[in-house]
Chains A and B, each alone.
Chain A
Amino acid sequence: MDRERQKRAPIYEALKAFEKKRVVPFDVPGHKRGRGNPELVQLLGEKCVSLDVNSMKPLDNLCHPVSVIKEAEELAAEAFGAAGAYLMVGGTTSAVQTMVLSVCRAGDKIILPRNVHKSVMNAMVLCGAVPVYVNPEVNQKLGISLGMEVEKVRQAIEDNPDAVAVFVNNPTYYGICSDIKTIVELAHARGMKVLADEAHGTHLYFGKNLPMHAMEAGADLAAVSMHKSGGSLTQSSLLLLNKGVNADYVRQIINLTQTTSASYLLLSSLDISRRNLALRGEESFKKVVEMAEYARGEINSIGGYYAYGKELVNGNSVFDYDVTKLSVYTRDIGLAGIEVYDLLRDEYDIQIEFGDISNILAYISIGDRIQDIERLVGALADIERLYKKDSTGLLSGEYISPKVVTSPQKAFYSDKVSVPVEKSAGKVCAEFVMCYPPGIPILAPGEMITDDIVQYIIYAKEKGCSMQGTEDPAVDRLQVLACPPGDIP
């Protein structure tokens, strides 16, 4: 990486130059540098609205970059050690969907762990790909899905030689990494592509002593959430490409669904964040690691909580662990993760990333300060003191093996009927059900609904998880296939 070149930020520079020209706008956006919407200016500031401009020659066009956006993408590729990079404005969701749509056509098989983000399954609904799930091992105590074991991936590849791609979370929301390098070797040996969801892995490209990133492992495509650990604005993201990927075809796929009015606020935030990461990332993530490790030590010394770290590494289902993550197991104090999550917000004015059935996850980033960590630790200590309960009777977030009856696309577009959740066991689900965050589906279209799943959904609702994905906003009813499972073609 050329540090001198990385000091540049072409989109940012072009915006600065454009601002100085004081061009009279007879184009969109219609707020015309905010003059037409004073209340918006008051909320966002003059600077911000004046940068909300349209694509034009001096500022390039995201749909077909030839100048400053192209340069920014090249700089991003260089910074991330990739052959190519695309700036994305539809969230990492759009990057993940592009990965799947770029390698799968209708009926193609894709090998993936079940604990993927819903965007992967949405892409399968769109393109008609068929999932082949590798059931991840589950840590019984923590109730979280771990990484994909190499042996199970090898088996899946052998059983499905016609599969076109293998999909890997690198890392999972909780920080668990699979042996992505070996998985790439296995897949490439059979001519399959490897897609990596690095929504939670931007920092792997810049920090020292962190798990291996997808480009280094040789994965073909990677979706990187710059707006998570990278510091850019919400909804901005990056799609990385390795050598041997047809970059122009990927651009076409992006343009199938991407807006033609990309926001320059998002684009410039990607540009500036990339520069910041390239120049100062290593140092920043060193601090993040120190803060996370400090918090882990302090939380573990409270008693009752378990803030897990590198000790989970077992060389297989937990090949590596991302120590910037701060996940805490809470069931031993008699509270579900989601209950601690709610207490932190309602009673202590602390908003954390999410709480599930057994864990909470606090997101530590380059924006944190040690005094805020002290608050989080202090609040957890206080919760332990005031709200600790007997932990018997708490359900653990067990992994329920999915039974795929038909492809997500077929199920989604079939004739459906609506049934109450508690009467849905034995039917085939036609929609998604998930807690958000983390957004990993409990049910995806085309999967068999079982008693265990029904019980889990009811329990998660009771505990206050925010459920979504269903047509019924209250998640009291589920859409299921009209024809019985036996008759599905």
Chain B
Amino acid sequence: MEFWFSELHTGNVKLSVRIEKQLFSGESEYQRIDVFDSEEFGRFVSLDGEIVFSEKDEFIYDEMVTHVPMAVHPCVKNVLIIGGGDGGVAKELLQYPTVETIDVVETDEMFVDVCRRFFPDVACALEDPRVKVYYDDGLRFLRNKKGRYDLIINDSTDPFGHTEGLFTREFYGSCYNALKEDGIMVYQHGSPFYDEDEAACRSMHRKAYRSFPISRVYQAHIPTCPSGYWLFGFASKKYHPIRDFKPKEWNARNLETWYYTTHLHMGAFMLPKYVEDLLEEEENKR
């Protein structure tokens, strides 16, 4: 028997993964959630038919959204993770002793339950006393927060589904408001390669660039993403990701990583020409 999971990356390109077994399928108020076991990517979750993380490559984005800002900001105490219902980002953050509180805001309670059930090694981070999970709409949660966080990580990946509101100018504005004066926001910036993704990517940069004094983009290789190439946004009120980068301090922490290094930190901000060009075009608009 051949059992394949296929995800359309564009109307004309798809990624197919051979499946050993489907472990779960459910329809929440917001989306369809499926869990599979596969030979190549291990266990993975898909939301509305799109892979959101797999055991095999999850470490890449968890590390990239955590260590990059943590190696720039001198002392992060209060963190907000939006859409971090799987607990992966919280788990990375918990390695830092300076971190006092981590608020995780997830709209979909069923998603968190599924992660707790099928990915207990990662989701266990949500049980840590420093972590508090809120089931709420991200925009709504942020609306009345002012100057509260050192770091906000938007872990939502899909600018078209029910998390659409987390890729809007009002969202970046609310984040700006909720951050302290030297706060940093890191977000999933999508893939710049295929046409339809490029448009979303451009629009994200345009909005963040207008909402924050510092707004840079960095990259990583994530095999299950469209084209395997993924970007992250670094938006900040004060610290520049390269100029204020503190490699010595970070290395002194002796954290164990599989993707992130302080050399890679520098390299991640060195973007291909076509990406630099499209970002610059958006910066010069208006």
Q: Which residues of A contact B (CB under 8 A)?
A: 298, 301-302, 347-349, 370-372, 374-375, 377-379, 381-382, 385-386
Within the complex, what minimum Cβ distance (angstroms) separates A80 from chain B?
A: 33
CA distance A347 to B168 in the complex (A): 9
Would you call A371 and B164 a contact (CB within 8 A)? yes
Which B residues are CB-close (under 8 A) to A385? 173, 177
Give the residues in chain A near B173, CB-CB below 8 Å.
Answer: 378, 381-382, 385-386
Give the contacting residue for A381; candidates B137, B143, B162, B165; CB below 8 A. B143
Q: A348 to B206: give the CA distance in the assembly, Å.
A: 11
CB pair A378–B174 under 8 Å, yes or no, is yes
* Interchain CB contact under 8 A, B162 and A371: yes
Docked-complex contact B139 and A374, CB < 8 angstroms: yes
Which B residues lie within 8 Å of A301 (CB)? 144
Contacting residues of chain B (123-137) with chain A, CB-CB under 8 angstroms: 137
User: What does DSSP make chain A's interface, helix, strand, loop or mixed?
Assistant: helix
Asked if A298 contacts B143 (CB within 8 A), the reply is: yes
Bound together, the chains give a CA A374 to CA B139 distance in angstroms of 6
Tell whether, in the assembled complex, residue B162 and residue A382 are in contact, meaning their CB atoms are under 8 Å apart. no
Q: Is B277 an interface residue (CB 8 A)?
A: no
Interface flags, B146-173, vs A, CB<8A=1, else 0: 0000000000000000101100111101
Kindly list chain B residues whose C-beta atoms are within 8 Å of the C-beta of A347: 169
Residues of the B chain whose Cβ atoms lie less than 8 Å from the Cβ of A371: 137, 139, 162, 164-165
Q: How far is the CA of A301 from the CA of B143 in the complex (A)?
A: 10
Kindly state the separation between the CA atoms of A349 and B204 in the bound complex, as whole angstroms: 12
Given A298-B143, A371-B165, A374-B165; A382-B170 close (CB under 8 Å): yes
When C-beta atoms are compared, the residue in chain A nearest to B146 turns out to be: A385
Interface check B140, CB cutoff 8 A: yes
Q: Which of B95-109 contact A (CB under 8 A)?
A: none
Query: How far in angstroms is the closest Cβ of chain A from B145?
Result: 11
B residues touching A (Cβ–Cβ < 8 Å)?
Answer: 137, 139-140, 142-144, 162, 164-165, 168-171, 173-174, 177
Chain A residues lying within 8 Å of B142, measured Cβ to Cβ, are 378
B95 → chain A closest CB, angstroms = 32
A374, A377, A379: residue with the most chain B Cβ atoms closer than 10 Å: A374
Contact A379 B137 (CB under 8 A): no
On chain A, the residues within 8 Å of B177 by CB distance are 385
Q: Which residue of B lies closest to A377 (CB)?
A: B143
- Closest A residue, CB atoms, query B165: A375
Given A348-B169, A375-B165, are A382 and B137 neighbors across the interface (CB < 8 Å)?
Answer: no
Residues of B within 8 A of A378 (CB): 139-140, 142-143, 165, 168, 170-171, 173-174
12 further contact pairs, Cβ within 8 A, besides A370-B137, A371-B165, A385-B173 = A298-B140, A298-B143, A348-B170, A349-B168, A374-B165, A375-B165, A378-B171, A381-B173, A381-B174, A382-B169, A382-B173, A385-B177
Residues of B contacting A374 in the complex (Cβ-Cβ under 8 angstroms): 137, 139-140, 165
> In whole angstroms, how far apart are the Cα atoms of A347 and B164 in the complex?
15
Per the bound structure, the CA–CA distance linking A379 and B139 in Å amounts to 10
Q: How far is the CB of A25 from chain B (nearest CB, A)?
A: 32
**Contact at A375–B170, with CB atoms within 8 Å?**
yes
Task: Check B174 against A382 for contact (C-beta < 8 Å).
Answer: yes
Q: How far is the CB of A303 from chain B (nearest CB, A)?
A: 11
> Known interface pairs A298-B143, A371-B137, A374-B139. Does A381 touch B170 (Cβ–Cβ under 8 Å)?
yes
Sampled A-B contacts (7; CB under 8 Å): A371-B139, A374-B165, A377-B143, A378-B139, A381-B170, A381-B173, A381-B174
Note all chain B residues with C-beta closer than 8 A to A379: 168-170
User: Quick one: closest A residue to B163, CB to CB?
Assistant: A371
Tell whether, in the assembled complex, residue B162 and residue A375 are in contact, meaning their CB atoms are under 8 Å apart. Answer: no
Min Cβ gap B154→A in Å is: 14
A260 to chain B, nearest CB (A): 41
Bound CA span A385–B143, Å:
11
Point out the residues of chain B lying under 8 angstroms from A348, CB to CB. Answer: 168-170
Measured between beta carbons, the chain A residues less than 8 angstroms from B139 are 371, 374-375, 377-378
Interface centre among B139, B140, B164, B170 (most CB of A within 10 A): B170
| Nearest 8 A/B pairs, CB to CB | A382-B173, A378-B170, A379-B170, A378-B139, A374-B139, A382-B170, A375-B165, A374-B137
- CB of B168 within 8 A of CB of A375, answer yes
Nearest-CB residue, chain B, relative to A386:
B173
Smallest beta-carbon distance B38→chain A, Å: 31
Chain B neighbourhood of A377, CB < 8 A: 139-140, 143
Complex: how many Å from CA A377 to CA B137?
A: 12
Q: In the complex, what's the smallest C-beta–C-beta distance from B172 to chain A, in angstroms?
A: 8
| Candidate in A298, A348, A378 with the most chain B CB atoms within 10 angstroms | A378
Nearest B residue to A375, CB-CB: B165
Task: For the complex, give the distance between the alpha carbons of A248 and B264 in Å.
Answer: 81
- Closest Cβ of chain A to B212, distance in Å, is 12
Q: How far is the CA of A298 from the CA of B140 in the complex (A)?
A: 9
In Å, the complex CA distance between A367 and B143 comes to: 24
Q: A382 contacts which chain B residues (CB < 8 A)? A: 169-170, 173-174
Taking the closest CB of chain A, its distance from the CB of B159, in whole angstroms, is: 11
Chain B contacts for A370, CB-based, 8 A: 137
Query: How far is B161's CA from A372's CA once the two chains are assembled, in angstroms?
Result: 12
CA–CA, A349 to B160, complex, Å?
13
> A347 — nearest CB in chain B belongs to which residue?
B169
Cα A348 to Cα B174 in complex, Å, equals 13
Complex Cα distance, B173 from A377, in Å, reads 12
Q: Output the nearest chain A residue to B107 by Cβ-Cβ distance.
A: A371
Task: Report Cα–Cα, A372/B162, bound state, in Å.
Answer: 9
Chain B, residue nearest A380 (CB): B170
> What residues of chain B lie closer than 8 Å to A302, measured between beta carbons?
143
Q: What is the CA–CA distance of A168 and B122 in the complex, to the nearest angstrom?
A: 64
Q: Chain A residue with minimal CB distance to B162?
A: A371
Instruction: For residue A349, give the distance in angstroms from its CB to the closest CB of chain B.
Output: 7
Cα separation A2 to B57 with both chains bound (whole Å): 59
**Residues of chain B contacted by A381 (CB below 8 angstroms):** 143, 170, 173-174
Residues of B within 8 A of A298 (CB): 140, 143
What is the CA–CA distance of A301 and B144 in the complex, to the nearest angstrom? 9
Bound Cα distance from A483 to B144, whole angstroms: 61
Closest beta carbon of chain B to A311's beta carbon, Å: 23
**Smallest CB-CB separation from B161: which chain A residue?**
A371
Least distance between B165 CB and chain A CB atoms (Å):
5
Q: How far is the CA of A371 from the CA of B139 in the complex (A)?
A: 9
CB distance from A199 to the nearest CB of B (A): 30
CA–CA, A3 to B174, complex, Å? 47
In the complex, residue of chain A having the shortest beta-carbon distance to the beta carbon of B30:
A371
Give bound CA distance, A371 to B142, whole Å: 14
When chains A and B are docked, how far (Å) is the Cα of A382 from the Cα of B144? 11
Closest Cβ–Cβ distance, residue A291 to chain B (whole Å): 13
- Roughly how many angstroms separate A372 CA and B165 CA in the complex, as a whole number? 7
CB distance from B243 to the nearest CB of A (A): 26
Report the minimal beta-carbon distance from A477 to chain B, rounded to whole angstroms. 33
Which of A301, A302, A348, A375 has the largest count of B CB atoms less than 10 A from its CB? A375
Residue of A nearest to B138 (CB): A374
Kindly provide the distance from the CB of A31 to the nearest chain B CB, expressed in whole angstroms.
26
Shortest distance in angstroms between A426's beta carbon and chain B's nearest beta carbon?
44
For B137, the chain A residues whose CB sits under 8 A away are 370-371, 374
